[in-house]
């Protein structure tokens, strides 16, 4: 079975994009390898995002904030899908992605901006995880070899 590479982009690559990487990589369909990056990456992965990724049995050693420039290098994995998960990254000028990957914007509010108790913060991260999982489930059920940017954007509308 062919596996499809998905790059999740966000500004700081510490929360939403990291959750997307973990969900895609651990998806029960086995169809995806998830990656994540940011336009101005932070210094570390948010602890609540890390906690969720570990709960999904994602390899904790792979969790780090990284620049999207890494994925424009000649030896970088070829992406099949590029998905922005924050409004800032969606509006930024992205690097050139070799191979013309299918692109979409699946916007989610930034859970790291939630104020309150750790339980309230955890809930915000879980809401993002649930939303991303729904969209990735829909994506996994589609004929991936026939997808284009328009049909990927329709997943956003369905979820």
Task: Kindly state the tokens that stand for 154.
Answer: 């329709």
- Give the global pTM: 0.89
Question: Does 68 qualify as catalytic in the annotation?
Answer: no
Which of 18, 22, 86, 139 is catalytic? The answer is 86
Instruction: Please tell me the distance from the alpha carbon of residue 159 to that of residue 85, in angstroms, as a whole number.
Output: 14
Range of the domain at 64: 4-158
Q: Which of 6, 7, 9, 10 is catalytic?
A: 10
We report the CATH number of the domain holding residue 89 as: 3.40.50.2300
pLDDT in tens, 71-125: 988 899 999 999 989 866 555 566 666 677 888 889 899 999 999 999 999 999 9
Q: 118 an active-site residue? A: no
Residues 6 or more apart whose CB falls under 8 angstroms from that of 3 comprise 30, 31, 32, 33
pLDDT in tens, 20-69: 999 999 999 999 999 999 988 989 999 999 999 999 999 999 999 999 99
Q: Please tell me which residue in 94, 114, 138, 140 is annotated as part of the active site.
A: 94
Residue 98: CB partners within 8 Å, gap ≥ 6?
72, 78
Overall size of the chain counted in residues: 159
Cα–Cα distance measured from residue 16 to residue 100, given in angstroms and rounded to the nearest whole number:
23
Number of separate domains in the chain = 1
- State yes or no: is 37 an active-site residue: no
């Amino acid at each position: 079975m062919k596996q499809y590479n998905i790059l999740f982009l966000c500004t700081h690559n510490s929360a939403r994009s990291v959750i997307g990487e973990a969900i895609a990589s651990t998806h029960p369909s086995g169809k995806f390898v998830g990656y994540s990056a940011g336009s101005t990456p932070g210094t570390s992965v948010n602890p609540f995002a890390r906690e969720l990724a570990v709960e999904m049995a994602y390899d904790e050693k792979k969790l780090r904030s990284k620049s999207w420039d890494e994925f424009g290098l000649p030896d970088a994995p070829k992406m099949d899908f590029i998905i922005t998960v924050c409004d800032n990254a969606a509006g930024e000028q992205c690097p050139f992605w070799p191979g013309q990957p299918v692109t979409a914007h699946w916007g989610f509010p930034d859970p790291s901006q939630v104020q309150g108790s750790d339980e309230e913060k955890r809930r915000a991260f879980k809401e993002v995880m649930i939303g991303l999982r729904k969209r990735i489930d829909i994506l996994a059920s589609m004929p991936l070899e026939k997808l284009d940017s328009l049909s990927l954007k329709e997943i956003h509308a369905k979820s």
